[in-house]
Amino acid sequence: MTLAVQVAVAVIINSDNQVLISKRASDVHQPDCWEFPGGKVESNESVASALVRELKEELGIEILEYKYLMSVPYDYGDKKVCLQTYRVSKYSGQEHGCEKQPIKWVDIDELSTYQFPEANIAILSCLNLPDMIQITGHFSNLEELLNKSKSCIDKGVSMIQFRAHQLDDESYRHHAECLLNLCHQHQVKLILNRAIDVAAAIKADGIHLNRFELMKYQQRPCAEQLSLSASCHNIKELKQAEALSADFCLLSPVKTARSHEAGVSLGYEKFAELVASCSVPVYALGGMQLSDIERIKRAGGFGIAAVSGNW
């Protein structure tokens, strides 16, 4: 069995929300593509050490602050890689192409116009995704929904999924419009766990499919400007989400939670195994706490999701 080449990758973002990319040479694997800076992890070093070394060698900078972002396994057929990706927020020195490679700062929204190696695509798709997603829980009325959501926003939540199966269509739409107004006042994205036409009509940020809706479609069921996410519980559902070009998935239950039957949780090991076979960013759901974020990222997940009240 061929082992994947471990690669340390840096997503360097400046104060203008631009990302630094560099161009690969013509005589290497995936030639002439743009990429995020970084390089192969040597046998005698840690990934973090490789990241520091590579950025010094490639760009002439010393990184001062960085945070683990995600793991991206990818099989090119002739080569397997695993991109251990970090977000670099602070460094010293003036960046330049030490190896004569072209470099440039690009707005995040414009990255899709550049050609990247296929393994980098997962990184591109997740740059605007948060570490955590809040799912609305029980509420008795609109005021309570808005108050609970505002409390989550004040704690740093930047994406909310509005799940309220108890509401009829008309009530759901009214609640969603009010919640959307609150979210957009605070630059928070709102994902609707409801019919796609409602999300499009009120100009929500995305739509979420449950596991049964997910399996009904043969192609992506919404426009590209709407984010698409899905609930998954096994490899079949994860692969279906990939086929629909979902922007991210929620995989559950990772730990025992009140919303799932006891004794059927995936656990961290199974979660990592499933995530390793999926190219879509995956969030862990089920008994998650803020303290789980780092462990989930080490297991290859992108972050966590939890029902309101769990944090």
Domain boundary among the residues 94, 126, 158 is at 126
Which residues, including other chains, have CB under 8 Å from residue 194's CB and lie 6 or more apart? 162, 172, 176, 207
SS3 content of the chain, % helix, strand, coil (to 5): 30, 30, 40
pLDDT > 60? residue 177: yes
Q: How far apart are CA 66 and CA 88, in angstroms?
A: 4
Query: In this structure, are 193 and 266 located in the same domain?
Result: yes
Instruction: Please give the residue range of the domain that contains residue 109.
Output: 5-126
pLDDT of residue 259: 47
Query: In this structure, are 78 and 116 located in the same domain?
Result: yes
Q: What value does the mean pLDDT take over residues 264-293?
A: 89
Query: In this structure, are 148 and 289 located in the same domain?
Result: yes
Q: How far apart are CA 109 and CA 165, in angstroms?
A: 34
pLDDT > 70? residue 13: yes
Compute the mean pLDDT over every residue in the chain, rounded to the nearest whole number: 90
Query: In this structure, are 113 and 181 located in the same domain?
Result: no
Query: In this structure, are 98 and 153 located in the same domain?
Result: no
Rounded (10°) angle between helices 169-185 and 142-154: 30
Query: In this structure, are 272 and 250 located in the same domain?
Result: yes
Tally of domains in the chain: 2
Residue 108 sits in a domain of what CATH number?
A: 3.90.79.10
Kindly report each contact of residues 291-298 with a partner whose C-beta sits within 8 Å and lies 24 or more positions away, as own/partner.
292/255, 293/131, 293/132, 294/68, 295/268, 296/254, 296/268, 296/271, 297/68, 297/69, 297/70, 297/71, 298/68, 298/71
H helices, E strands: number in the chain: 9, 15
pTM: 0.72
Q: What value does the mean pLDDT take over residues 18-43?
A: 89
Token output for 248: 């991210």
Domain boundary among the residues 67, 92, 126 is at 126
- At residue 68, the 3 state secondary structure works out as strand
Token output for 143: 């005021």
pLDDT > 80? residue 260: no
Query: In this structure, are 18 and 77 located in the same domain?
Result: yes
Query: In this structure, are 278 and 158 located in the same domain?
Result: yes
Residue 231 sits in a domain of what CATH number?
A: 3.20.20.70
Chain segment 34-47, per-residue pLDDT in tens: 999 999 999 889 99
Domain boundary among the residues 126, 142, 168 is at 126
Token output for 225: 């400007």
Q: What value does the mean pLDDT take over residues 244-253?
A: 92
DSSP annotation of 41: P
pLDDT > 70? residue 278: yes
pLDDT > 70? residue 257: no
Q: How far apart are CA 137 and CA 148, in angstroms?
A: 9
Chain segment 127-169, per-residue pLDDT in tens: 878 989 999 999 999 999 999 999 999 999 999 999 999 999 9
Q: What value does the mean pLDDT take over residues 173-193?
A: 97
CA distances from 220 to 231, 232, 243, 245 (A): 15, 16, 8, 6
Query: In this structure, are 156 and 103 located in the same domain?
Result: no
Query: In this structure, are 207 and 76 located in the same domain?
Result: no
Token output for 95: 């960046």
Q: How far apart are CA 280 and CA 129, in angstroms?
A: 12
Query: In this structure, are 107 and 150 located in the same domain?
Result: no
Instruction: Give the other-Cβ count within 10 Å of 226's Cβ.
Output: 19
pLDDT band per the 50, 70, 90 thresholds, residue 262? very low
Query: In this structure, are 108 and 195 located in the same domain?
Result: no
Q: How is the beta sheet containing 38-40 ordered, strand by strand?
A: 38-40, 5-12, 80-92, 62-75
pLDDT > 50? residue 238: yes
Percent share of the chain, pLDDT over 90: 63
pLDDT of residue 261: 47
DSSP annotation string for 83-127: EEEEEEEEEES----TTS--EEEEEGGGGGGS---GGGHHHHHHT
From 56, 124, 140, 41, select the one nearest 96 (Cα to Cα).
Answer: 56
From 213, 201, 303, select the one nearest 251 (Cα to Cα).
Answer: 303
Higher pLDDT, 3 or 311: 3
